[in-house]
């Protein structure tokens, strides 16, 4: 990512900076021999014309990038929709970098923003390298949506995942559950870590022993939830309720319980997180946390635009409201 400067190229070619600029912007005015020599040095040094100072500082591309872990994630699609709606109001074009299909795109677009090929980045990726992200955000417009970086001043928009998971867990406890399992993804992803912390906090607040064997880590998604539920059931421990850290994992867990001959919620209650479209149409309809996906996206772009325009922003870490949606999957009474 250490692209040579125009001065370094000029020095290596033995010409002036002005000559380099003319070769790149008006090559016809440069002598052919000089032009070919300069172009050879540019190629050898891997110097990119895009980083010319005139474009670097005076021209906006009116284009930005949204980095997503996987566009197949229905929750993230809702956030991206909100970003797009707000961006269209300001005549900005949105590029989507789907890391699921091409993981290398993350570094590519982080480099692109430094070259001013794009005006800014909104990241929905919880796995972006923190050091790289922080380094870029110190100088270039970068906002995080539906997540944040710990101990960082990078602008972000999300809900309070700890409080939201505590609302779910408190509801289960009030229904009389004390043997509650937790299905989640890898704890290095901050939203999942926060939801796990909320799970633990409610158990401690209600003097319920935390059984680490009832906490399962695995892949997110329906298959991940299905496999994790099978893994928990194989331990033959008493489980009366399951808190899945995502709706798709919850749906997978319900399928696994059914395949074991168990009824939801009669034998085991299940709750999820995110309120994706499928949640209300699944059987039984899923109790979950509804995130304001479109508003997260719109707010994230508003923050990005403020950074692009060098405007001050209040509430660096914007926390939006969530809603506990109670449906049939956890039952209403025990």
What lies within 8 Å, CB to CB, of 183 at 6+ separation is 216, 218, 225, 228, 229, 232, 242, 243, 244, 245, 249, 250, 253
pLDDT band at 162 (very low <50, low <70, confident <90, very high): very high
pLDDT band at 28 (very low <50, low <70, confident <90, very high): low
Q: Between 218 and 315, name the one with better pLDDT.
A: 218
Q: What is the mean pLDDT of the chain?
A: 87
> Which two structure tokens, joined as six digits, stand for 63?
């284009």
- Where in the chain are the domains? 6-56, 60-159+293-321, 161-290
What is the fold of 161-290?
Rossmann fold (3.40.50)
CATH classification of 6-56 is 3.50.50.60, yes or no?
no
The phi-psi region of residue 4 (left if phi > 0; otherwise alpha if psi is between -120 and 50; otherwise beta) is beta
Give the model confidence (pLDDT) of 221-236 as tens digits: 899 999 999 999 999 9
> Which two structure tokens, joined as six digits, stand for 228?
């994790």
Give the model confidence (pLDDT) of 32-54 as tens digits: 888 889 888 888 888 865 544 44
Q: Give the number of other CB atoms < 10 A from CB of residue 67.
A: 23
Tell how strand 241-244 and strand 180-184 pair up: parallel
**60-159+293-321 is classed in which CATH architecture?**
3-Layer(aba) Sandwich (3.40)
User: What pLDDT was estimated at residue 54?
Assistant: 42
Mean of pLDDT values over 52-73: 69
- 60-159+293-321 and 161-290 have identical folds: yes
pLDDT band at 55 (very low <50, low <70, confident <90, very high): very low
């Amino acid at each position: 990512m250490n692209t040579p400067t125009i001065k370094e190229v000029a020095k290596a070619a033995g010409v002036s900076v002005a000559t380099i600029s003319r070769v790149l912007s008006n090559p016809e005015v440069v002598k052919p021999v000089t032009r070919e020599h300069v172009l050879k040095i540019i190629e050898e040094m891997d110097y990119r014309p895009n980083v010319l100072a005139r474009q670097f500082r005076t021209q906006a591309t009116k284009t930005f990038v949204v980095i997503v872990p996987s566009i197949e994630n229905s929750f993230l699609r809702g956030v991206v929709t909100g970003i797009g709606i707000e961006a269209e109001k300001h005549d900005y074009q949105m590029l989507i970098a789907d890391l699921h299909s091409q993981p290398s795109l993350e570094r590519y677009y982080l480099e692109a923003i430094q070259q001013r090929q794009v005006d800014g980045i909104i990241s929905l990726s919880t796995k972006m390298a923190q050091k790289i992200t922080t380094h870029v955000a110190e100088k270039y417009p970068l906002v995080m949506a539906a997540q944040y970086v710990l101990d960082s001043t990078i602008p972000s928009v999300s809900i309070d995942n700890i409080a939201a998971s505590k609302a779910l867990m408190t509801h289960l406890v009030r229904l009389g559950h004390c043997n509650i399992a937790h299905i989640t993804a890898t704890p290095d992803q901050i939203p999942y870590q926060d939801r796990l912390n909320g799970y633990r906090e409610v158990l401690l607040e209600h003097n319920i022993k935390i059984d680490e064997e009832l906490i399962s880590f695995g892949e997110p998604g329906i298959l991940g939830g299905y496999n994790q539920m099978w893994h928990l059931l194989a331990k033959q421990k008493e489980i009366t309720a399951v808190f899945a850290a995502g709706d798709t994992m919850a749906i997978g867990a319900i399928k696994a319980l059914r395949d074991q001959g168990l009824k939801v919620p009669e034998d085991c209650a299940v709750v999820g997180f995110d309120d994706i479209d499928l949640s209300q149409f699944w059987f039984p309809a899923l109790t979950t946390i509804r995130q304001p996906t479109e508003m997260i996206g719109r707010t994230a772009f508003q923050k990005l635009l403020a950074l692009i325009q060098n405007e001050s922003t209040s509430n660096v870490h914007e926390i939006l409201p969530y809603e506990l949606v109670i449906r049939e999957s956890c039952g209403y009474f025990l």
